[in-house]
Amino acid sequence: MARPVGSGLTSLVVEGGHRLEGRIDVEGNKNAALPLLAACLLTDRACVLTNVPRIKDVQVMADLLRGLGAVIEGEGTATLRVDCAEVTGDVPDSELVGRLRGSVLLCGPLLARRGRVRLAPPGGDFPARRTLSAHLQALEAMGGRRVTDRGGDFVLEAPDGLRPASLYLVEASVTGTETALLAAAAAPGASEIRHAACEPHVAELCRFLTRMGAEVEGTGTSTLRVAGGGRLAGV
């Protein structure tokens, strides 16, 4: 129970010693759901994600995708059907981007589908604690050309498409690794990502890309090899 203390604040008092029982359904990890949603942009076929956590960050990513042309069914439930047959924009909504650090994951797929991306400064804990260094390194190594922009936005172009690369990430960033994976899946040829993050949600993205048709080796390790560039399927 909560008890008021001081100037209107409350404290939580827990009385232990009682038998606990019951059952809950555990929904998926947000940090796994966001890169999988971004990966849906890589294919013009529909993808279905199940056990999706019903939280605000997932809704923001869904809204970002819809603003880029995606058709999404099942919002508000744990099963989402995402159809990115038509990607009509390359500038994700700046207000939504400012609310979600994971919006940076849209950059690789947009470069692959549109040849260009313009992203406002991502929200969350950028730039106080985290930077875009690993993301920029990966995207530039794979053919993205950074364009000077006075508005503070993050602008990249790849008019000739993405290309495979071998790179050692400047940090073992989870989202940086995922950005590199998403770009590598679209780049025609073999890419190698060293100093990669090994978290379970990175491994889940590897499995998702494999089911889409990319070849990914080294899942769960710090060295990932990706053979990409083929037409990716819906899964």
- Pick the closest to residue 174 from 206, 217, 210 (CA basis): 206
Q: Which two tokens stand for residue 24?
A: 């809950």
- Find all residues with CB under 8 Å of 53, minimum gap 6, and list them: 27, 28, 29, 30, 33, 78
- Find all residues with CB under 8 Å of 33, minimum gap 6, and list them: 49, 52, 53, 58, 61
Active-site residue 125, yes or no? yes
3-state secondary structure 64-132: HHHHCCCEEECCCCCCEEEECCCCCCCCCCHHHHCCCHHHHHHHHHHHHHHCEEEECCCCCCCCCCCCC
- Catalytic pick among 25, 44, 63, 125: 125
Could you tell me if 162 and 185 are in contact, meaning their C-beta atoms sit under 8 angstroms apart? no
Catalytic positions, written as ranges: 125
